[in-house]
Amino acid sequence: MREVIIPTDATARFNTAVDAVVDADKGASGFVLAYGQAGRGKSVAADQYHFQRGGAYVRVWEGWSQSAFLQRVLFEVRGKNGELPRSTANRSKQQIVELLERDRKPLFVDEADRLAISRIEDLRDIHEMTGVPIILIGEEGIFGLLSERRRIWSRVAHEVEFGPISPAEVALYAMQAAGLNIPPDQCARIAERAEGDFRLVRNMILLLEKTAKAAESFDVDASMLDTIFSARTWRRK
C-alpha cells in the first residue's frame, strides 16, 4: 500500500487559516487553534504545511518543564543546528525572540493540550515580542486549557476543527493508496466502524488490500468488508 496524503476539507481550511496569519502584518497576526479527536489528521496537515512552506515545528513531550520546552523551541527555531541548547528558560526565550525578529516564521506546537498553561503564556510572550503566528494543534482538551486565560483567547485568530473522515474521503484514500474500488455504501460502513478515525481507516484499507490481492479483485464488496470487520474489534477505546 502506498503512503499518500489525500486532500480534505479540514486540511484546506487549516492551510487557509495559517496562510492568513502568516501573510498578516505583525500587529494583525495571532494564534491558530487546530483541534479534534485523535486520528483526525491534525498532525498530518500541520506537518505537511511545515514541510512545504516552512516554519518551526515542536512536538510536545509529556511533563516538559519550562526550560525543557523553551530549549526545544529554540532548537527548532534555530534550525536544528548543533546540540540541544542547555541555557536557562529566560535565556532560551530571549534567543528565540531574537531569532524570530530576524526571520519571522510560523511556530507549530503539536499536542499542545499536553502543555501547562504557563507554557502557553511563554508562547504568548514570544508572539507579543515578534508577531510570529503560533499554531496550536491538540485534542479538545485544549479548550479547557486556553479558557483559563482570556488574554490568550483574545489572540486566537482562527479555529479549525478536524472532524471525522467522510465516506467520500474513504473512497479517495482507498483508491489512491491501494487501488481499491469501494462502493459509497461500503465506504459509509468503514467510516462508521472507524468512528471517523483515519488511522483505523488506514488499517482497514491495508487488510482490504491483502484480501483483494488474494481474491484477485480490487472491487470491494460487502462480504470482503464483513471479513475485515470480523478480524478485530476496531474499537477506538
Residue 236, pLDDT above cutoff 70: no
Closest CA to 128 of 10, 27, 216, 227: 27
Domains belonging to the chain, first-starting first, are 9-161 (3.40.50.300), 167-229 (no CATH)
The proportion of the chain whose per-residue pLDDT surpasses 70, expressed as a percent, equals: 98
C-alpha to C-alpha distance for 84 and 203, rounded to whole angstroms: 36
Q: pLDDT-derived band of residue 91, with 50, 70 and 90 as boundaries?
A: very high
Q: What is the pLDDT of residue 27?
A: 75
Q: Is the pLDDT of residue 233 over 90?
A: no
Q: Report whether 35 contacts 138 (CB < 8 A).
A: yes
pLDDT of residue 11: 95
Spatial strand order in the sheet of 31-35: 56-59, 107-110, 134-138, 31-35, 156-161
What is the model's pLDDT at position 237?
52
- Per residue in 29-48, pLDDT (tens digit) is 899 999 999 889 999 999 99
- List pLDDT tens digits, range 56-88: 999 999 989 999 999 999 999 998 767 888 899
